[in-house]
Amino acid sequence: MAANIFHIGGELTVGRLGFGAMHLPTEPAAERRTGLAVARRAVELGITLIDTAHLYGGGANEELLAEALHPYPHDLLVTTKVGVARTGPGGEWRLDGRPAVLRDQVDQALRRLRVERLELLQLHRVDPDTPLAEQLGTLRELQTEGKVGRIGLSEVTVDHLDQARAVVDVVSVQNRYSLLDREHEPVLRACEAAGIAFLPWRPVAHGTSGAHAEIAAVADDLGATPTQVALAWLLAHSRVICPIPGTARVDHLEENVAAAELDLSPAQLARLDGMSAPGSVA
């Protein structure tokens, strides 16, 4: 079984299997109660890393987590993301890393999450219309001001990562990655070399993992579900991987959390490794 903790930035100790809050419903009232219950159950099960973003409901997801979990347990890290805003011509969402937008979203996150500092803040996407150094420079200023503790990136290339590390200390990268989708293997390896936490979003191909014979066979051998096998593979694949599977159901949450206890044998790992060549999309 892979080591089950990671020190983000060498300082923030988290369990390597986290929770992505994106799918938690914030309305209507009955569904919101379900969202609150799932968030609380995640912490009861020992989750210490929860991911949210301004994009998720324009901050409504952040507010839900605060309602569910504040005052936060001392070992809980709630990380959020900024850089996507409703600033398109028709008020639609678009990538927007302008300094004023980033600053405003950080201030909103502090208020909604009811904290004085965001211990880990990630740039949700690189805005191609704003110089990357300007976007990161703004986050660095917010860090100096004490509003941000540590800085991460999301959905970036190796080149983006190299450019960013010349401006700030990058402690996390959140890219799409799973057993069936390894397009960002080069980014993962760059993170591994630098000791940077790699937080895969969409870490499980929902509804399709069980359709793959190799995954189904390993799951059958272990008496586990295909989803659990996919998550266990991520934890075993690299020491810097901290998956953040999301769900709006308690039973799925409990299934995901149990994957951290799954022990894949060398033969099973080799079988799963061989499903897709690194750098490809299965």
Side chain identity at 49, as an amino acid letter? L
Active site residue 56: yes
Closest CA to 195 of 175, 173, 179, 177: 173
Q: Given the structure tokens 């996390």, which residue do they identify?
A: 172
**CB distance 176 to 201 below 8 Å:** yes
Task: Say which of 56, 177, 198, 201 is annotated catalytic.
Answer: 56
* Three-state secondary structure readout of the chain: CCCCEEEECCCEEEECCCEECCCCCCCCHHHHHHHHHHHHHHHHCCCCEEECCCCCCCCHHHHHHHHHHCCCCCCCEEEEEECEECCCCCCCCEECCCHHHHHHHHHHHHHHHCCCCEEEEEECCCCCCCCHHHHHHHHHHHHHCCCEEEEEEECCCHHHHHHHHCCCCEEEEECECECCECCCHHHHHHHHHHCCEECCECCCCCCCHHHCHHHHHHHHHHCCCHHHHHHHHHHHHCCCECCCCECCCHHHHHHHHHHHHCCCCHHHHHHHHCCCCCCCEC
**CB distance 25 to 249 below 8 Å:** no
Q: Which tokens is 133 given? A: 């150094």
Known catalytic residues are: 56
